[in-house]
Amino acid sequence: MIERLALIGTGLIGGSLALALKAAGAVGEVVGCGRNPATLERARELGIIDRYATDPAQAVAGADVVFLAVPIAAMREVFRALRPGLAGEVLITDGGSAKGCVVEDARAELGPWFAHFVPGHPIAGTEQSGPDAAFATLFAGRRVILTPLPENSAEDVARAEALWLATGAQLETMSVAHHDHVLAATSHLPHVLAFTLVDSLARMEERQEIFRYAAGGFRDFTRIASSDPTMWRDICLGNRTELLALIGRFQQDLSALAASIEAGEGEALSALFARAKRVRDTLYSL
Ligand code: NAP
């Protein structure tokens, strides 16, 4: 049971966490924090938070758990701002989509409190943002990755695990580096491809005609291009090394595909498409 949760960022991820914990009876009071009082007031109306403060140090005062759900590029400034309010056996954790950059920010700003920071990332979300997008069942049955640090105590890791288990999530644990490597492939590269495809077509002169004939396949492929631009800017910059390596590899594979098309190598194309179909069919028939 969390007595007081300080929720820095009351949008989709932070809001859904608070609603899930409240629904499970796993939290007493939730104190919200953000830059914009109108957003915080809305979060209060929606029952996500009980009260709020715009100063992170005030918001975390007396909290036993602090959860950061702000865009990745804002993490450093938030760690710095909340540090004066930290006290006691507080657990600090987050939901940021890339972990190496957030851990670096926490290490730089939290001082002795760094050992109490247990990084996390829920593999769940939607293309919507803000408190109105939050819902209590977002994490139910979904994976949440914790990337505990050598500095963490077993007790703090167990508290972070208990927090997510209360939302109905399934927990996985891995290193920060492994997280960023895997997520670059499964999430960050696909988002970059979807954004680029839509933008590339939208800048063609005959775009009206092109989009008029865009059917279900195009819609499926590009759904994630409706995601929040600020969030994805931050993720690309935060996980740039892993992402750049994958973009380079993908560019090579795309060039090889173009060469096969140009050379009329039907067999090479069929072999590639059949391999990909087998993998996709296996993944989603499970
Ligand atoms: P969101 O709905 O846009 O919410 C972000 C919240 O952060 C807002 O309440 C915003 O309120 C606040 N905020 C922004 N900048 C701030 C700052 N400098 N100081 C304090 N508060 C600030 O975003 P989200 O989708 O919940 O994403 C939050 C985090 O979860 C991100 O790190 C993201 O990488 C991660 N994540 C997202 C998804 C997803 O699918 N969306 C999935 C997994 C993880 P104000 O504007 O009022 O400050």
pLDDT in tens, 76-135: 999 999 999 999 999 999 999 999 999 999 999 999 999 999 999 999 999 899 999 999
R_g (Cα) of the chain, nearest Å:
21
- CATH (domain of 216): 1.10.3660.10
Residue 286: which pLDDT band, with cuts at 50, 70 and 90? low
Tell me how far the alpha carbon of residue 26 lies from the centroid of ligand 1, in angstroms: 22
- The pLDDT score that the predictor gives to residue 21 is 98
Mean pLDDT of the chain: 96
| Domain range enclosing 133 | 2-174
pLDDT of 208 strictly over 90: no
* Same domain, yes or no: 276 and 158: no
Q: Is residue 238 within 6 Å of ligand 1 at its C-beta?
A: no
* Same domain, yes or no: 203 and 166: no
Q: Is residue 277 within 6 Å of ligand 1 at its C-beta?
A: no
* Same domain, yes or no: 166 and 186: no
Tell me how far the alpha carbon of residue 59 lies from the centroid of ligand 1, in angstroms: 16
Q: Is residue 32 within 6 Å of ligand 1 at its C-beta?
A: no
Q: Is residue 71 within 6 Å of ligand 1 at its C-beta?
A: yes
* Same domain, yes or no: 167 and 186: no
Q: Is residue 129 within 6 Å of ligand 1 at its C-beta?
A: yes
* Same domain, yes or no: 165 and 184: no
Q: Is residue 93 within 6 Å of ligand 1 at its C-beta?
A: no
Tell me how far the alpha carbon of residue 9 lies from the centroid of ligand 1, in angstroms: 5
Domain count, the chain: 2
Tell me how far the alpha carbon of residue 13 lies from the centroid of ligand 1, in angstroms: 7
* Same domain, yes or no: 191 and 59: no
Nearest protein CA to atom 6 of ligand 1, as residue: 9
Question: 19-51 pLDDT, tens per residue?
Answer: 999 999 999 999 999 999 999 999 999 999 999
pLDDT of 69 strictly over 70: yes
- The pLDDT score that the predictor gives to residue 74 is 97
**Which H, E and C letters describe the chain, residue by residue?**
CEEEEEEECCCHHHHHHHHHHHHCCCEEEEEEECCCHHHHHHHHHCCCCCEEECCHHHHHCCCCEEEECCCHHHHHHHHHHHHHHCCCCCEEEECCCCCHHHHHHHHHHCHHHHHHEECEEECCCCCCCCHHHCCCCCCCCCEEEECCCCCCCHHHHHHHHHHHHCCCCEEEECCHHHHHHHHHHHHHHHHHHHHHHHHHHHCCCCHHHHHHCCCHHHHHHHHHHHCCHHHHHHHHHHCHHHHHHHHHHHHHHHHHHHHHHHCCCHHHHHHHHHHHHHHHHHHHCC
Q: Is residue 9 within 6 Å of ligand 1 at its C-beta?
A: yes
Of 113, 140, 174, at which residue does a domain stop? 174
CB-CB contact of 13 with 95 (8 Å): yes
Of 120, 155, 174, at which residue does a domain stop? 174
pLDDT of 277 strictly over 80: yes
Q: Is residue 7 within 6 Å of ligand 1 at its C-beta?
A: no
Question: 165-203 pLDDT, tens per residue?
Answer: 999 999 999 999 999 999 999 999 999 999 999 999 999
- In ligand 1, the atom with minimum distance to the C-alpha of 124 is 42
CA–CA dist 99, 105 (Å, integer): 10
